[in-house]
């Protein structure tokens, strides 16, 4: 496994792996856990060259405090990656990714007006900036994204369509801790007590799936909100039940679309997201 920090080293390594090598790419912000590693393992299994990037992208943080406290653990990340068979790690600094400010404005229409888009203004524009730049540097054949960030996946697919990029976007299942809590780099910022209580988020989503036949969409949304807010450690920012294509709020179970329940919840100062296919 090789670690490179500049675009020219990255491109040299990709070139050295030969023409015809298929490149599988996993973009991350580091502080790696089993969720990230599952994406990397899939990239290793499906490509001749698996590349992971580790870059805490400043343009996708709308809250400077969130950016500041985001965990950075490169040494530990490299140790974990050694176990996956991944060949190349790209860990650039901000100057390398943004030699000059990226002023592009993407338009994702109604996809970016709901949920994370509504509560984190500018977030998806920053995601699109960094992902498109990384795609341009690597020219991957396949890129792997977790369903944990369901709306991000929809945005990236839409961006690939808009820019007509020759890359296949591969969605990967959510990996959870034993308690059910969706794995996240932000879990590391929770106290032991908060982490225990944060498991109520996923437990509520699992139960919501079972209760779906007994309630209307609106009632189920309210039930999930109340159930999570009843825990003194947790404070719901939003609960939405949306269709899986346009991510618009569902009105009735009769609509012929797959429904996803998505939540954002504060546990102390830390904001967590999760979702489940209902």
- Of 39 and 220, the one with the shorter C-beta distance to ligand AMP is 39
Task: Work out how close the CB of 57 gets to ligand AMP at its nearest, in angstroms, rounded to a whole number.
Answer: 8
- Of 126 and 146, the one with the shorter C-beta distance to ligand AMP is 146
Task: Work out how close the CB of 56 gets to ligand AMP at its nearest, in angstroms, rounded to a whole number.
Answer: 9
d(CA 32, CA 183): 10
d(CA 171, CA 148): 10
Size of the site for ligand AMP (CB under 6 A): 16
Task: Work out how close the CB of 173 gets to ligand AMP at its nearest, in angstroms, rounded to a whole number.
Answer: 7
Widest CA span of the chain, in angstroms?
Answer: 58
Q: Is 185 in the site for ligand AMP (CB under 6 A)?
A: yes
Residue nearest to ligand AMP (CB): 146
Cβ 23 vs Cβ 127: under 8 Å: no
> How many angstroms separate the Cα of 24 from the Cα of each of 46, 201, 275?
7, 32, 26
Q: Is 273 in the site for ligand AMP (CB under 6 A)?
A: no
123 is catalytic: no
d(CA 256, CA 259): 9
Q: Which of 36, 41, 142, 186 does the annotation list as catalytic?
A: 36
> How many angstroms separate the Cα of 72 from the Cα of each of 60, 142, 201, 215, 269?
16, 26, 25, 43, 18
- Of 234 and 273, the one with the shorter C-beta distance to ligand AMP is 273
| Interaction pattern, residues 123-162, with ligand AMP; x per rule: CB under 6 A | ----------------------xx-xx-------------
Query: 4, 14, 39, 221: which one contacts ligand AMP (CB under 6 A)?
Result: 39
User: HEC profile for 135-146?
Assistant: HHHHCCCEEEEE
Query: 59, 87, 184, 202: which one contacts ligand AMP (CB under 6 A)?
Result: 184
- Of 116 and 220, the one with the shorter C-beta distance to ligand AMP is 116
Query: 29, 160, 265, 278: which one contacts ligand AMP (CB under 6 A)?
Result: 29
Span near ligand AMP by CB under 6 A; candidates 7-15, 29-37, 230-238, 258-266: 29-37
Q: Give the DSSP letter of residue 257.
A: S
* Cα dihedral 129/119/217/221 (nearest 10): 130
Query: 4, 7, 35, 159: which one contacts ligand AMP (CB under 6 A)?
Result: 35
Q: Is 201 in the site for ligand AMP (CB under 6 A)?
A: no
Please list the alpha-helical segments (H only) found in 32-179.
34-46, 64-69, 74-82, 94-97, 115-119, 123-138, 150-163
d(CA 108, CA 162): 9
Footprint on this chain of ligand AMP (rule: CB under 6 A): 28-29, 35-36, 39, 145-146, 148-149, 172, 174-175, 182-185
């Amino acid at each position: 496994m090789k670690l490179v920090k500049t675009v020219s080293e990255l491109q040299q390594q990709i070139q050295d792996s030969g023409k015809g090598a298929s490149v599988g790419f996993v973009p991350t912000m580091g502080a790696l856990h089993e969720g990230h590693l599952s994406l990397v393992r899939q990239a290793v299994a499906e490509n001749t060259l698996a590349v992971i990037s580790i870059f805490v992208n400043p343009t996708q943080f709308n809250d400077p405090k969130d950016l500041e406290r985001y965990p950075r653990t490169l040494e530990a990340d490299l140790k974990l990656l050694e176990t996956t068979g991944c060949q190349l790690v790209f860990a650039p600094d901000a100057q390398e990714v943004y030699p000059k400010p990226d002023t592009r404005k993407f338009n994702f229409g109604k996809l970016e007006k709901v949920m994370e888009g509504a509560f984190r203004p500018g977030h998806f524009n920053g995601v699109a900036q960094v992902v498109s730049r990384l795609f341009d540097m690597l020219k991957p054949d396949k890129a792997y994204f977790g369903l944990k960030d369901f709306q991000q996946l929809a945005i990236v697919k839409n961006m690939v369509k808009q820019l007509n990029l020759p890359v296949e976007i591969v969605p990967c299942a959510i990996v959870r801790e034993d308690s059910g809590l969706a794995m996240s780099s932000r879990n590391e910022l929770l106290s032991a007590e908060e982490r225990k209580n944060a498991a109520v988020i996923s437990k509520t989503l699992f139960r919501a799936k079972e209760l779906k036949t007994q309630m209307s969409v609106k009632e189920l949304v309210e039930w999930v909100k109340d159930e999570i807010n009843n825990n003194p450690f947790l404070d719901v920012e939003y609960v939405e039940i949306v269709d899986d294509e346009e991510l618009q709020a569902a009105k009735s179970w009769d609509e012929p679309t797959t429904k996803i329940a998505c939540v954002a919840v504060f546990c102390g100062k830390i904001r967590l997201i999760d979702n489940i296919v209902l």
